[in-house]
Copies of this chain bind each other. A is one copy, B any other.
Amino acid sequence: MEYAVIMAGGLGTRLWPLSRQGFPKQLLPVCKGKSLLQLSFERLLSVVPAERIYVCTAEAHRKVVGENLPQLPAANILGEPQGRDTANAVGFPAAILHKRDPDAVFAVVTADHVIEPIETFQACVRQAFNVTKEHPKCLVTFGIVPTFGHTGLGYIQRGEPMSDDHGAYQVLAFKEKPDKPTADRYVESGRFYWNSGMFVWRADTVLEQLAAYLPQSYQGLTKIAEAWDTPQQQEVVSEIYPHLPKISIDYAVMEPAAQQKSVVVVEMPIDWIDVGSYPALAETLSIDEHDNAVDCDRLIAMDADGNIIVSRDPNHLVSVVGVSEMIIIHTPDVTMICPKNDAQRVKELVAKVREKYGDQYL
């Protein structure tokens, strides 16, 4: 049977104070009141039914994730007691799905992006499921067609097209985040994709790969799966999971597997908006006639241009005059102000807040 697993592990520090330790960025309303997680869930519904969608998230977020996705069966939310990077975040559901359905094949999708058009995304996922039918030992990844030489993303270098399918190619190599000239060369060549961090594979196949390349994780996850759906479930996962080797699936499995010619990339020609920082979040907001991206019930803005203004307190008035290109975020307990050009520094700011006030505002 076909399944989908939504990865919802990140905290989204660069969206603080909207995202919090107890309220990760995937739960932020970004599009007509819907969260990234809800958008991700809805995107999958025409490909697999709700009861075969899983979410892998932090144990601490299991409850809020369940509230955000009332259609999702509670048993389908897998809580990581501690983040151990993506090798385990995908291996964990692989082990659970394989226990529940030895014939399981599943898509791994992220909840960090707004994706358009949805239909293209869905067609690509269906196509990837088809690839795994023909090639059950394959690891399928998705390559986003790049629109510019992004230096903050990894790249996938494609090789020969698969004879039996359109838009699917052998993967020659995974490339780390490049410098700008290299990134530009990648894009010009037409033979590189942005690494989406999304995959489709059979559960048994990815477990075999983990057994080969990351045996410690494989053994730990196997023990967790044995205890799963028994009264020992929580005890075992809490004991084992924090000791799994912390490593990404790209390093641990995809790169060596690509050298073995076991990886296929399906081209995904979508608009892919990473809502990881305020300028990106702004692209999901309504824009006023002065180029302000606004999500604020009560606002007076005079001679204010190109700002990002978000308030999470419906009765609080935000008022600005003569302010340009600033990020202004208001929540009941925190106000955060920084120029758009410094959006990446919110992370440093959060570190300072932790240093001075502990977890109170995080």
Please report A residues at the B interface, Cβ cutoff 8 Å.
17, 298, 300, 302-303, 315-323, 326, 328, 330, 332-339, 341-342, 345-346, 348-349, 352-353, 356-357, 361
Residues on the B chain within 8 Å of A348, using CB: 302, 321
Residues on the B chain within 8 Å of A332, using CB: 316
Residues on the B chain within 8 Å of A339, using CB: 322-323
Contact B335 A318 (CB under 8 A): yes
Closest chain B residue, CB of each to CB of A353: B300
> Pick the contact of A337 from B328, B345, B346, B349 — CB < 8 Å?
B328
> Pick the contact of A300 from B315, B319, B320, B349 — CB < 8 Å?
B349
Contact B342 A317 (CB under 8 A): no
CA distance A341 to B319 in the complex (A): 16
> Pick the contact of A356 from B300, B335, B337 — CB < 8 Å?
B300
- Give chain B nearest CB distance to A45 CB in angstroms: 39
Known: A302-B348, A318-B334, A323-B338; 7 extra A-B contacts, CB below 8 A, are A298-B357, A300-B356, A315-B333, A317-B334, A319-B335, A319-B336, A335-B335
Residues on the B chain within 8 Å of A322, using CB: 338-339, 341-342, 345
Given contacts A298-B357, A356-B300, A357-B298, contact A349 B321 (CB under 8 A): yes
Residues on the B chain within 8 Å of A333, using CB: 315-317
> Pick the contact of A334 from B17, B302, B319, B334 — CB < 8 Å?
B319
Residues on the B chain within 8 Å of A328, using CB: 335, 337
Residues on the B chain within 8 Å of A317, using CB: 17, 333-335, 353, 357, 361
CA distance A333 to B314 in the complex (A): 10
CA distance A300 to B350 in the complex (A): 9
Residues on the B chain within 8 Å of A302, using CB: 345, 348-349, 352
CA distance A357 to B318 in the complex (A): 12
Residues on the B chain within 8 Å of A341, using CB: 322
The 8 closest A-B pairs by CB, nearest first: A322-B342, A321-B338, A317-B334, A320-B337, A321-B349, A321-B345, A317-B361, A319-B336
- Give chain B nearest CB distance to A261 CB in angstroms: 47
> Pick the contact of A320 from B315, B323, B336 — CB < 8 Å?
B336
CA distance A195 to B328 in the complex (A): 41
Residues on the B chain within 8 Å of A342, using CB: 303, 321-322
Residue among A302, A320, A321 with most chain B CB within 10 A: A321
CA distance A300 to B351 in the complex (A): 10
Given contacts A298-B357, A352-B302, A361-B317, contact A335 B330 (CB under 8 A): yes
Residues on the B chain within 8 Å of A330, using CB: 335
> Pick the contact of A319 from B298, B316, B349 — CB < 8 Å?
B349
28 pairs across A/B with beta carbons < 8 Å? A300-B349, A300-B352, A302-B345, A302-B349, A303-B345, A316-B332, A316-B334, A316-B335, A317-B333, A317-B353, A319-B334, A319-B353, A320-B336, A320-B338, A321-B337, A321-B338, A321-B345, A321-B346, A321-B348, A322-B338, A322-B339, A322-B345, A323-B326, A323-B337, A323-B338, A328-B335, A330-B335, A337-B337
